[in-house]
Amino acid sequence: MDFIPGIDGPSEGVPRVLACFSNNLLRREPLKLVDGGQSQRTFVYIKDAIEAVLLMIENPGRANGHIFNVGNPNNEVTVRQLAEMMTKVYTKVSGESALETPTIDVSSKEFYGEGYDDSDKRIPDMTIINKQ
Protein backbone atom coordinates (compact mmCIF):
# COMPACT_ATOMS: atom_id res chain seq x y z
CA MET A 1 0.00 0.00 0.00
CA ASP A 2 2.94 2.33 0.63
CA PHE A 3 2.96 4.98 3.37
CA ILE A 4 0.62 7.62 4.73
CA PRO A 5 2.58 10.89 4.99
CA GLY A 6 3.19 11.99 8.57
CA ILE A 7 1.50 8.89 10.01
CA ASP A 8 3.62 5.90 9.06
CA GLY A 9 6.05 7.46 6.65
CA PRO A 10 7.86 10.67 5.80
CA SER A 11 5.94 13.93 5.71
CA GLU A 12 7.15 14.65 2.18
CA GLY A 13 6.85 12.63 -0.98
CA VAL A 14 3.89 11.24 -2.86
CA PRO A 15 2.67 7.77 -1.88
CA ARG A 16 0.68 5.45 -4.12
CA VAL A 17 -3.02 5.94 -4.78
CA LEU A 18 -4.38 3.75 -1.95
CA ALA A 19 -2.24 5.54 0.62
CA CYS A 20 -3.04 8.97 -0.87
CA PHE A 21 -6.75 8.32 -0.73
CA SER A 22 -6.56 6.80 2.79
CA ASN A 23 -4.62 9.84 3.95
CA ASN A 24 -7.24 12.22 2.55
CA LEU A 25 -10.11 10.23 4.04
CA LEU A 26 -8.50 10.14 7.49
CA ARG A 27 -7.85 13.88 7.34
CA ARG A 28 -11.38 14.57 6.04
CA GLU A 29 -9.98 16.17 2.88
CA PRO A 30 -11.25 15.69 -0.69
CA LEU A 31 -9.52 12.92 -2.65
CA LYS A 32 -7.35 14.39 -5.39
CA LEU A 33 -8.04 12.97 -8.84
CA VAL A 34 -5.03 13.57 -11.04
CA ASP A 35 -6.10 14.60 -14.54
CA GLY A 36 -9.70 13.67 -13.78
CA GLY A 37 -8.98 10.22 -12.35
CA GLN A 38 -9.29 8.50 -15.73
CA SER A 39 -6.13 6.40 -15.35
CA GLN A 40 -6.93 2.72 -15.04
CA ARG A 41 -5.45 0.40 -12.42
CA THR A 42 -5.94 -3.15 -11.24
CA PHE A 43 -5.75 -4.43 -7.70
CA VAL A 44 -5.19 -7.89 -6.33
CA TYR A 45 -6.52 -9.55 -3.19
CA ILE A 46 -3.64 -9.76 -0.71
CA LYS A 47 -4.16 -13.50 -0.17
CA ASP A 48 -3.68 -14.10 -3.90
CA ALA A 49 -0.49 -12.02 -3.95
CA ILE A 50 0.93 -13.90 -0.96
CA GLU A 51 0.06 -17.23 -2.57
CA ALA A 52 1.95 -16.19 -5.72
CA VAL A 53 5.03 -15.24 -3.69
CA LEU A 54 4.91 -18.53 -1.77
CA LEU A 55 4.72 -20.47 -5.03
CA MET A 56 7.82 -18.63 -6.25
CA ILE A 57 9.69 -19.46 -3.04
CA GLU A 58 8.61 -23.10 -3.15
CA ASN A 59 9.61 -23.45 -6.83
CA PRO A 60 12.94 -21.64 -7.21
CA GLY A 61 13.83 -23.61 -10.34
CA ARG A 62 10.80 -22.20 -12.11
CA ALA A 63 10.98 -18.74 -10.55
CA ASN A 64 14.66 -17.77 -10.59
CA GLY A 65 15.62 -15.40 -13.37
CA HIS A 66 12.05 -14.30 -14.09
CA ILE A 67 10.23 -11.09 -13.34
CA PHE A 68 6.64 -11.81 -12.38
CA ASN A 69 3.82 -9.34 -12.73
CA VAL A 70 1.30 -10.41 -10.09
CA GLY A 71 -2.19 -9.03 -10.27
CA ASN A 72 -5.72 -9.53 -11.46
CA PRO A 73 -6.11 -8.21 -15.02
CA ASN A 74 -9.89 -8.66 -14.70
CA ASN A 75 -10.17 -6.28 -11.73
CA GLU A 76 -9.73 -3.00 -13.59
CA VAL A 77 -11.11 0.31 -12.33
CA THR A 78 -10.46 3.96 -13.02
CA VAL A 79 -8.86 5.96 -10.24
CA ARG A 80 -12.14 7.92 -10.06
CA GLN A 81 -14.08 4.68 -9.48
CA LEU A 82 -11.57 3.69 -6.80
CA ALA A 83 -12.08 7.06 -5.07
CA GLU A 84 -15.84 6.56 -5.10
CA MET A 85 -15.53 3.02 -3.69
CA MET A 86 -13.10 4.05 -0.96
CA THR A 87 -15.27 7.02 0.05
CA LYS A 88 -18.33 4.79 0.28
CA VAL A 89 -16.53 2.15 2.36
CA TYR A 90 -14.91 4.76 4.62
CA THR A 91 -18.22 6.48 5.42
CA LYS A 92 -19.83 3.11 6.18
CA VAL A 93 -16.98 1.89 8.42
CA SER A 94 -16.27 5.20 10.18
CA GLY A 95 -19.88 6.30 10.59
CA GLU A 96 -18.86 9.75 9.37
CA SER A 97 -20.84 11.51 6.68
CA ALA A 98 -19.32 11.93 3.25
CA LEU A 99 -17.70 15.25 2.49
CA GLU A 100 -19.80 17.73 0.56
CA THR A 101 -17.06 17.68 -2.10
CA PRO A 102 -15.52 14.19 -1.82
CA THR A 103 -13.14 14.58 -4.79
CA ILE A 104 -11.33 17.38 -6.57
CA ASP A 105 -9.58 17.34 -9.93
CA VAL A 106 -5.93 18.39 -10.04
CA SER A 107 -3.48 18.43 -12.90
CA SER A 108 -0.55 16.01 -12.92
CA LYS A 109 1.79 19.02 -12.99
CA GLU A 110 0.15 20.44 -9.86
CA PHE A 111 0.17 17.10 -8.04
CA TYR A 112 3.53 15.61 -9.04
CA GLY A 113 5.48 18.58 -10.38
CA GLU A 114 7.02 19.42 -13.71
CA GLY A 115 8.01 16.58 -16.02
CA TYR A 116 6.08 13.76 -14.35
CA ASP A 117 4.95 11.02 -16.72
CA ASP A 118 2.74 8.03 -15.94
CA SER A 119 0.89 5.35 -17.84
CA ASP A 120 -2.84 5.72 -18.30
CA LYS A 121 -3.42 2.01 -17.99
CA ARG A 122 -1.57 -0.46 -15.78
CA ILE A 123 -2.79 -3.97 -16.37
CA PRO A 124 -0.61 -6.89 -15.23
CA ASP A 125 0.51 -9.32 -17.89
CA MET A 126 0.14 -12.74 -16.27
CA THR A 127 1.72 -14.67 -19.18
CA ILE A 128 5.02 -15.54 -17.49
CA ILE A 129 3.60 -16.40 -14.08
CA ASN A 130 0.90 -18.60 -15.62
CA LYS A 131 3.47 -20.36 -17.80
CA GLN A 132 5.88 -21.01 -14.93
Please give the Cα distance from 50 to 109 (Å, whole number): 35
Distant-in-sequence contacts of 16-22, Cβ < 8 A, 24+ apart: 17/41, 17/79, 17/82, 18/86, 21/82, 21/83, 21/86, 22/86
Asked whether residue 23 is assigned to any structural domain, the reply reads yes
Structure confidence at residue 127 (pLDDT): 84
Full domain range(s) for residue 85 = 17-112+119-131
Strand, helix or coil for residue 110: helix
Average pLDDT of every residue of the chain: 85
Q: What is the pLDDT of residues 52-93, one digit of tens each?
A: 999 999 999 999 998 888 888 888 899 999 999 999 999 999
Q: Is this structure's pTM higher than 0.85?
A: no
Q: Is residue 9 part of a domain?
A: no
Tell me which DSSP letter residue 71 carries.
Answer: S
Q: Tell me the pLDDT tens digit for each residue of 3-34.
A: 555 555 555 555 578 888 998 999 999 999 99
32 in any annotated domain: yes
The reply to whether 126 falls in a domain is yes
- Give the number of domains in the chain: 1
